[in-house]
Structure 1
């Protein structure tokens, strides 16, 4: 999720985890806490040195494209703001079962912006193997389903993809579903840019996973 705005801390209005065991659960993972409906979940938005370097790269890119003044971009990505806490609104699950959970991105980059995540903890896309292809395909199916439920009929004008490490802020695998792709905001066009170092499409990821051996 690409955002650095500061908001008040808001708790989930659900009382406790719904998993019987800790299998597939990472207590340090924010999305594990979200999908398990933990009380008091907060999204701690602390910009690391690595992400700070990334934002400086984006800053230079913005300046080159639009000649935006340095002070304007620097304020948005100030490393001194790493103590801030980004609020997590009341989470309303649009779809949730034992395998997949879906909810809105807290800072949408398009009129429709959803996150599709495995209900049990799975690492980022770089950690996946060929065995995860069916999971990725199921995530895509859920993404299409949620778009159709929200009256998005032109599936040729959508963007599905993953941020590639180290450019992902949460290590729990999450698929970005954005529509219409033609209405992405300027910053979103950069954060979810096709053929970039930091964002891969579903097709690119599946092709990569299928090229791996079963033991990779």
Structure 2
């Protein structure tokens, strides 16, 4: 999708600091990090949000989590802790409408689910 910044990053048309890429996903640093480590894991296929995910995407979503785990370990977050977050829709904070998984860590995070 030409007007999608993540599609442009994946295709090499837009700059990003890519930390992982394979035939299924691309991972790169968030340009507005909220923690010292803030990496986005993005499917190479344009999927707008979780609302468009179907059964055929199950392996892809699993792969996204495995890649995020590998990146967490590579960044020393495995012992300290980290979060994996997918925002879906504007009220949840999704600002780029291409599915992406946030890997965030590197400091204590104040928000706790009660």
Calculate the TM-score normalised by the size of structure 1: 0.47
* RMSD of aligned alpha carbons: 2.0
CA 1:176–1:194 in 2, change beyond 3 Å: closer, same or farther?
farther
| Alpha-carbon distance between aligned partners in 2 of 1:194 and 1:119, rounded to the nearest angstrom | 31
Q: 1:162 aligns with which of 83, 86, 95?
A: 86
| Alpha-carbon distance between aligned partners in 2 of 1:150 and 1:27, rounded to the nearest angstrom | 32
- Map of 1:109 onto structure 2: 34
Q: 1:178 aligns with which of 62, 86, 104?
A: 104
Deviation at 1:183, TM superposition (A): 2.0
Larger radius of gyration: 1
Identify the structure with bigger relative contact order (alpha carbons < 8 Å, sequence gap 6+): 2
| Alpha-carbon distance between aligned partners in 2 of 1:106 and 1:172, rounded to the nearest angstrom | 16
- Map of 2:24 onto structure 1: 99
Unaligned runs of 5+ residues in structure 2 are none
Unaligned runs of 5+ residues in structure 1 are 1-25, 42-89, 196-216
| Alpha-carbon distance between aligned partners in 2 of 1:127 and 1:36, rounded to the nearest angstrom | 22
Q: Which has the higher strand share?
A: 2
Q: 2:9 aligns with which of 18, 30, 34?
A: 34
Query: Are the equivalent residues in 2 in contact too, given 1:111–1:183 (CA < 8 A)?
Result: no
| Alpha-carbon distance between aligned partners in 1 of 2:56 and 2:85, rounded to the nearest angstrom | 19
Aligned residues: 112
Calculate the TM-score normalised by the size of structure 2: 0.85
| Alpha-carbon distance between aligned partners in 1 of 2:113 and 2:50, rounded to the nearest angstrom | 16
- Map of 1:141 onto structure 2: 66
